[in-house]
Structure 1
């Protein structure tokens, strides 16, 4: 008997609403990103929550773009967001845009003016800010607050018709300049912005503010549960005020804790800085916390969904260790990634008693964790590449790899014994000479010899050359946003290392961007977008173990 998983607080609300018939037996959610950048792992949490709730309760989830700020929004971002949502495994019921509702939102604003609940203000943004007051003192009424309805209607229409410059006038809701919640002190609901919109072109030169567009868009779509992050909790009274005054469908807003993760920044503004200032190669740089960056690095959608489910839905902010995300990635890739051999820091090994010119074809399992994973053929020859760290001239007591007189097994092949080695004038090992035991072949070993070490290898005449990019965390402190000074001062200078000559199995010659592998003993890697048939490129996704935690303990 399996233990039933407890409900999170939003699921409890939904089940109560369904039981009481509050929403007419419906569950309608939405994911409403602004198309002003690429989605990051924090958005993935919101995507999994909104689409997951709709699926669990046989409802629907809309993808609605909050495209009310034309100067920062681009079609490129729209397309990337759609790609990310699909890649995570979700499909929206309707693809919608706040710009779909510009005519309706304008009509709503006009309705507020007619009810004496909105007015055109000629004050500058600085003058408006100066009259807002503080948590300890009330604000002051604008000198334009008592304009009559007809004048406000005329001025608002003139704003729409392009008669005024940016910032010359705004439309404000008339709520209460003494309200304890500063957001309700006559908030701006429309501003003038002469900018080309990625969908509506130059039809509009006035655009609704987020607080005005958001709740009304929810209402138009009859969203039953409008789920936002905690920073919007103070916006909820205004959300409700607009719906109540306009007497429209009563959508309700609920807030949950956003995702904060160690060694990461989640601010789109800061991520855009990293891109624009060349600190990273783009939004999909594998070091970025963007979904596209994680996909390029080799993370799986399954791992991200599992991560979001594991951290759960809470009402209180907390910091999640990035190690938990990496754990989920390892768990996913352990089950799905084929094992291959790649030598990152090569040194040549020669089997002096193996026949020259001979090649054997060894059959190795692709993935021992997957009974249906199949096998592959790996060529074996007299000369091979091994990792430089797998040989020690003066081996330590418990060094179970190669050294003078020591024996190891070559993965899937034979036991070998080190007989000799060569060094250059600088003392670097250039070639290792070994003899192999013909009777010790894996799967048919009659040698009677047991060795403690097994190392990986790649046959020299059959090896393919690849570039490997070793990625580490982008920041060297846990919470770069909370540190003093510019957050970019805390970028990890060793966040990427490029290895230009890595030898890989010939089976990898036909790999495609996005393919994922476990490089035996080295970690998980993914074929990069930069790969071509002439030059293969692999990104390190995550190590086999959490080495960062060990380093942190040392520090």
Structure 2
């Protein structure tokens, strides 16, 4: 493509930067005012963009490929009107889509959409197709969508035109030549597969456009229901039945939500390609690792539902790794360096070769033996690969392969004094264990070249790296070093604390694993850098727990007021009510009705004398008298009015009869451990600690809560959802309930106390 044409295009398109955290969200079909009935077009040239846009926007149209070659598509409306031309029809659909941004969010974005509608078909036709792809790849470097922050018909037109080119685009897509364009294309395909899969299957499926070489995994993942797409993302060079992936956590902490994403993606690809999963513990740093972490990581993997074929340890390969290190020394591909650590770091940054780089093989082997024996001289050295100190990619500037460490190893004790680095051990063990595809987060992207170079120097087969974006959550630290600080300094109970982003922590908080799986897999294997809101995860969780969890009643112990019903039952009586009015499986509960009941103080203070209120699950009552002491409400007096209409009352109140069987509750709420949404790389998390992360309030609960089991999720009427952390043991010990966020609030809690 000529530079003049490139410049012309550049003038048309807005260069506004889209933040890294912007992510795709599936558009729900809108309620449309379109009265289209029939789309006519030439069978040889189906207008994919129109059909795709109609599917995404929820427009129901009848397809009629009856026009002759050369005729433009025509949309016939129910009113008798008709519209000619692809772009005109697209504009009509976009404008008529109620509540959508298919035509941009303002006049400027609409103008940009118009420019794309005009130019997208032109730049993707003819002999300069690849040059156009190069232009688009550059344009999409920092963008999630072509226009603004949401899907528009501009994206649909470009996606459809690429798809329509057939193998021409597919060959470039597989070549990894235009990664930004491919990332954009795959993201659109994943998030809107509910519409686009049907279109491609009907009009280009016979040519194999956009289809995966492997079977679909729809409904394979627990919790992956109608909200997730069926679109498949390819592993490069993968063959069904031959894929082997590995999940390789370091046993230096419990698994957190970021590790969960990696584990579930490995599971996904293994099942999709009918392959194998290896769980390998990267236990190369004895100073940080322990059997406790190994046991709990395996527990977390089981909780996530990841089925693996074998569990291995990098320490299983220590003898072979040491043999390989010695072999590389003899081949002149590695050398022992005694340069002080800070000086070595500075030299690597500046591309300065170490004074030890040209030592003889004999000198290197002698110092290597000192390292292996853990002598004083040996502990001053490290083994480095001799790669390229002048490469712009600093990861290739002679990385460290081995270091001395006198600490005993949790599996092999004090047998070794030297341990391989992750960068050295990982490619070696991947190759030996038959791994075909190594999935790892894009934060390691700059080290991919190092990984392949080390494999080459070792003379081992190539293992394909497949990148996905690291999962980052707002107000959250995921570094195990930082999480360990919270544990060691007793800012939390332990690694299972409900404030922690560990798998065990968020499950203890009340998250269902089905929700976590759905949340992670909805993101797919995108390489976009995401900063995710916890609210989205908790919203998914609410949809899972609300339909089935039992309902109970509680009033705060320090803030409740007595209501005496003058015409209430002389003797208390019991009714058997459902724990959930719409779900029989939740069981029954016994509710006691009496003439003296407890109300929340906040409810009592909202009542006026003479007002009629509704007592939930009972009926109406009229408040006759409000007694106070120095402005504080001490007691209410009223009478039942069970014939009153519950539709006419403003206040619907929860209540508890004054009986001895009420149970004591401890309601615990939490907030984030840090008070900044996103920490920058140079920021110290200790400067952003949240001073108040836990609040506890005592309450009285209905007697049925004696039967609530540990881990059970319930709803306290008008209070929210709770998970039972400590069940009923005895009357003097409260039931401990952890508040579960419901996704409606900006933070995980409204904590204000200590």
TM superposition score category, shorter chain reference: 0.7 to 0.9
Instruction: Confirm whether residue 541 of structure 1 aligns to residue 740 of structure 2.
Output: yes
Deviations 1:337-391 (A, max 9, x none): 22211223432222222234x2322233223453533332222222222222212
Deviation of 1:126 after TM superposition, in Å, equals 2.4
1:184-203 equivalent positions in 2, closer than 5 A: 184-203=396-415
Aligned to 2:107: none
Q: 1:143 to 1:447 in 2, by over 3 A?
A: closer
- 1-structure distance, mates of 2:310, 2:412: 19
2:657 equivalent among 445, 459, 462: 459
Q: 1:128 to 1:550 in 2, by over 3 A?
A: closer
Aligned to 1:265: 477
Deviation of 1:125 after TM superposition, in Å, equals 1.5
Aligned to 2:224: none
Aligned to 2:373: 161
Aligned to 2:633: 429
Deviations 1:96-145 (A, max 9, x none): 111111112112212212222111222221232232243xxx322x2222
Comparing 534-543 with 380-389, which one deviates more in the overlay? Answer: 380-389
Deviations 1:142-177 (A, max 9, x none): 222223334433432332233346741111111121
SS at 1:12 equivalent: coil
Aligned to 1:337: 549
- Unpaired runs of 5+ in structure 2? 1-54, 56-193, 199-209, 213-228
Comparing 487-496 with 91-100, which one deviates more in the overlay? Answer: 487-496
Comparing 535-544 with 489-498, which one deviates more in the overlay? Answer: 489-498
CA contact (8 A) 2:706 2:728 kept: no
Aligned to 1:309: 521
- 1-structure distance, mates of 2:500, 2:626: 43
SS at 2:246 equivalent: strand
Aligned to 1:475: 674
1:39-78 equivalent positions in 2, closer than 5 A: 39-78=255-294
Aligned to 1:512: 709
Deviation of 1:484 after TM superposition, in Å, equals 7.8
- 2-structure distance, mates of 1:447, 1:12: 60
Q: 1:72 to 1:303 in 2, by over 3 A?
A: same
Q: 1:78 to 1:346 in 2, by over 3 A?
A: farther
- 2-structure distance, mates of 1:531, 1:218: 49
- 2-structure distance, mates of 1:550, 1:271: 20
Q: 1:483 to 1:279 in 2, by over 3 A?
A: farther
Deviations 1:223-273 (A, max 9, x none): 111111111111111111121122223222122110112122222222222
CA contact (8 A) 1:409 1:451 kept: no
SS at 1:416 equivalent: strand
Q: 1:11 to 1:538 in 2, by over 3 A?
A: same
1:137-536 equivalent positions in 2, closer than 5 A: 138-140=351-353, 142-164=354-376, 167-344=379-556, 345-356=559-570, 358-392=571-605, 395=606, 402-424=607-629, 426-437=630-641, 440=642, 450-452=647-649, 453-461=651-659, 462-479=661-678, 481-482=679-680, 486-499=684-697, 501-529=698-726, 532-533=729-730, 534-536=733-735
Q: 1:336 to 1:214 in 2, by over 3 A?
A: farther
| Pair member with larger Rg | 2
Q: 1:351 to 1:32 in 2, by over 3 A?
A: same
Deviation of 1:208 after TM superposition, in Å, equals 0.2
- 1-structure distance, mates of 2:413, 2:328: 26
Instruction: Confirm whether residue 107 of structure 1 aligns to residue 323 of structure 2.
Output: yes
Q: 1:165 to 1:519 in 2, by over 3 A?
A: farther
Q: 1:354 to 1:32 in 2, by over 3 A?
A: same
- 1-structure distance, mates of 2:378, 2:577: 68
Deviations 1:470-517 (A, max 9, x none): 2233333321x2298642343333432110x21112111133321111
- 1-structure distance, mates of 2:364, 2:252: 32
Comparing 39-48 with 225-234, which one deviates more in the overlay? Answer: 39-48
- 2-structure distance, mates of 1:66, 1:224: 18
SS at 1:264 equivalent: coil
Aligned to 1:13: 234
- 2-structure distance, mates of 1:237, 1:529: 51
- 1-structure distance, mates of 2:500, 2:728: 20
CA contact (8 A) 2:541 2:742 kept: no
Q: TM-score normalised to the size of structure 2?
A: 0.65
Aligned residue pair count: 523
CA contact (8 A) 1:125 1:167 kept: no
SS at 1:132 equivalent: helix
SS at 2:345 equivalent: helix
SS at 1:482 equivalent: coil
- Unpaired runs of 5+ in structure 1? 396-401, 441-445
Q: 1:231 to 1:408 in 2, by over 3 A?
A: same
Q: 1:155 to 1:484 in 2, by over 3 A?
A: closer
Aligned to 1:399: none
Comparing 51-60 with 252-261, which one deviates more in the overlay? Answer: 51-60
1:544-555 equivalent positions in 2, closer than 5 A: 545-546=744-745, 548=747
- 1-structure distance, mates of 2:232, 2:464: 14
SS at 1:422 equivalent: strand
- 2-structure distance, mates of 1:472, 1:105: 45
CA contact (8 A) 1:194 1:205 kept: yes
Q: With a CA cutoff of 8 Å and minimum separation of 6, indicate the structure with the bigger relative contact order.
A: 1
Deviation of 1:9 after TM superposition, in Å, equals 13
Deviation of 1:216 after TM superposition, in Å, equals 1.3
Q: TM-score normalised to the size of structure 1?
A: 0.87
Q: 1:496 to 1:166 in 2, by over 3 A?
A: farther
Deviations 1:433-455 (A, max 9, x none): 22123xx3xxxxx6566443422
- 1-structure distance, mates of 2:264, 2:463: 21
- 2-structure distance, mates of 1:493, 1:126: 35
- 1-structure distance, mates of 2:727, 2:463: 46
CA contact (8 A) 1:165 1:192 kept: no
1:117 equivalent among 330, 333, 347: 333
